[in-house]
Amino acid sequence: MFDKMKKLYQLRKIQQELKQTTVEAERMGGKIKVVMTGEFKPQEIKIDPSLLSEDNAFQLEKSLKEAFIEALGKAQQVAASKMREMGDLDIPGI
């Protein structure tokens, strides 16, 4: 019983750490930047004003999507790494 309570405490601690953790991905030489939390929530999206024209729409959309996917992947890796640190949870329903 005590071990399960300890694991739940560790899970909550990791959840708080993930809220504080951010990862970022850049495209087009840093002109597009996506920052995401360890909880997979977008925190910031920056687009250099020089890219904001109809001529660049397709490339902008493509690069923004790629940056978002990369940031999401990094956030998933961080979350998975923190969960691996805990070891076997063995908590029913989780």
pLDDT digits (tens, 9 = 90+) for 39-87: 999 999 999 999 998 888 999 999 999 999 999 999 999 998 988 887 7
DSSP state of 55: G
Query: Residue ranges per domain, the chain?
Result: 2-86
Supply the pLDDT for residue 3: 76
Q: Give the separation between CA 18 and CA 47, rounded to whole angstroms.
A: 25
Topology of 2-86 in CATH? Ybab; Chain: A; (3.30.1310)
Which among 18, 35, 2, 5 has a CA at the least distance from the CA of 83? 18
Q: What is the pTM of this model?
A: 0.77
Look up tokens 């030489």; give the residue.
29
Which among 42, 32, 28 has a CA at the least distance from the CA of 71? 42
Rounded to an integer, the average pLDDT of 15-33 is: 94
Q: Give the separation between CA 71 and CA 65, rounded to whole angstroms.
A: 10
